[in-house]
Structure 1
């Protein structure tokens, strides 16, 4: 076997380029790190996008192939698993958070409006802020802190114990079985879960205003019913669904690609929670700008 002169020349050029790159990295390490950050950012973004598309594309097939797993995950999302089923389920945590947020809103709203003599409008605040801001954000945070963190820990433990590789060895699509099924379960569970969250926020605001502060129940209900827009409730549900999809995709990604042993799983959970919290408030901001715009579809007169 003979090697041509051109091949030898190309090999020498390639070796010299590699050597020059290594010398440059050793001489200017800080500059090299600075220049590589944009490349790493876009590479990481591409990895996220590819994984998300794979998981979303596999959802129909996962629903038909693994229905029992989907049902199990729905129960786990809603009520929790094991000893946490009574106090640690997503329903309990999200319900408590939204109820506390609704009560706090009533306390602050009644006191602030009372300073200018219009505490009767506390019902308006409950109908307006709970639906558009408070309930979606608090529900998203609760979902990220409960089911999202649990998903990251589960998938991370499976990854470091080589269970994901075992699934692939048996011919099972691990993304479809582990990720797509959880996405389906999250989408099914988010509707009743968010309904409970919104209802509890309404009840907490009404209880604090009427029972604790002594406002007339008829007066509260009048302003609450007047300013509660059913279309806002619909958009609020759509916002909750969008946040749920984003949270589940982020947490499954970090868990699926966790590495570094148990400490690596902890790092993955922390990174997933931080990222999902940023996404929750970002989705709220973008949805508010897209739906309500500058005027907010709101008129207080009359």
Structure 2
């Protein structure tokens, strides 16, 4: 018993050079992963023209699938439906919090301003990005990952089909196209929910709400918001196609790839929101409180 305990203690005391070597190997693996992702993203974007030229039918099929779903999911589980419900909830929450908080200081009439400001710049883009990652992105990772572990991607290469433009570039194109009507639905749903909650539930005058909403809704902010949503779609689809394309380890590996992709894309959505906000609004915020 004493000998065993001493052996365990000796094995637990790993020399410092071994720790350094392990950390160096871990850092190398992390940098290799970043490099592999960068190369895949570059190839995927560069081969978009090939996807549009050679695989137009596949692009159209994916466009229909990611927008309205397929089979039974087309009724209740399409991306448009899911993002619409998410942004309805977000818009209603903005109205509830705005009316309650502004009512504490006696300016609940400014709820329309609050809805126009928060929905366009924060709530609708972030919620749409989350919905995109949870629906289109996760589905793309699962589909491509299943093809990888069943060696279908290798079969595509054997018969002369270029796997990256066929599997990744087509999905990136579909995601960036579908995000425009998808985000339009998201913005309209958030506006509708905010107005309904404020006017119908809290009983504020519709004229007061519409006045402040129209006064502080800046058209250029809407355009920047659409650009932000498009960048989110690009980043989300690149991340999810990469993790699906490089999945390994059988069905369990596909599930792990989906989880890693969703975590990475959710972090990327927040980072895109931060970067666009800093680039567009900066420190001034492009905001003039008047009227």
Q: TM-score range by the shorter chain?
A: over 0.9
**Which residue of 2 is the match for residue 215 of structure 1?**
204
TM-fit CA distance, 1:240: 0.3
Equivalent residue in structure 2 for 1:129, among 114, 118, 142 = 118
**Which residue of 2 is the match for residue 289 of structure 1?**
278
Distance 2:82 2:22 in 1: 42
Distance 1:119 1:26 in 2: 65
**Which residue of 1 is the match for residue 150 of structure 2?**
161
Say whether residues 1:108 and 2:97 are aligned partners: yes
Equivalent residue in structure 2 for 1:264, among 220, 231, 253 = 253
**Which residue of 1 is the match for residue 25 of structure 2?**
36
TM-fit CA distance, 1:143: 0.3
State which drifts further: 26-35 or 134-143: 26-35
TM-fit CA distance, 1:37: 2.2
Indicate the SS of the match to 1:82: coil
Distance 1:87 1:231 in 2: 33
Distance 2:278 2:16 in 1: 48
Indicate the SS of the match to 2:157: helix
**Which residue of 1 is the match for residue 130 of structure 2?**
141
**Which residue of 2 is the match for residue 72 of structure 1?**
61
Segments of 5+ residues of structure 2 without an aligned counterpart are 1-13
Say whether residues 1:46 and 2:35 are aligned partners: yes
**Structure number, greater radius of gyration:** 1
Q: Deviations over 1:135-180 (max 9, x none)?
A: 0000000000001000000000000000000000001100011111
TM-fit CA distance, 1:26: 10
Say whether residues 1:238 and 2:238 are aligned partners: no
TM-fit CA distance, 1:299: 1.3
TM-fit CA distance, 1:29: 4.0
Indicate the SS of the match to 1:86: helix
Say whether residues 1:274 and 2:263 are aligned partners: yes
TM-fit CA distance, 1:27: 9.1
Distance 2:64 2:79 in 1: 10
Distance 1:30 1:156 in 2: 34
Say whether residues 1:82 and 2:67 are aligned partners: no
Segments of 5+ residues of structure 1 without an aligned counterpart are 1-24
Distance 1:174 1:295 in 2: 46
**Which residue of 2 is the match for residue 97 of structure 1?**
86
Distance 1:238 1:185 in 2: 16
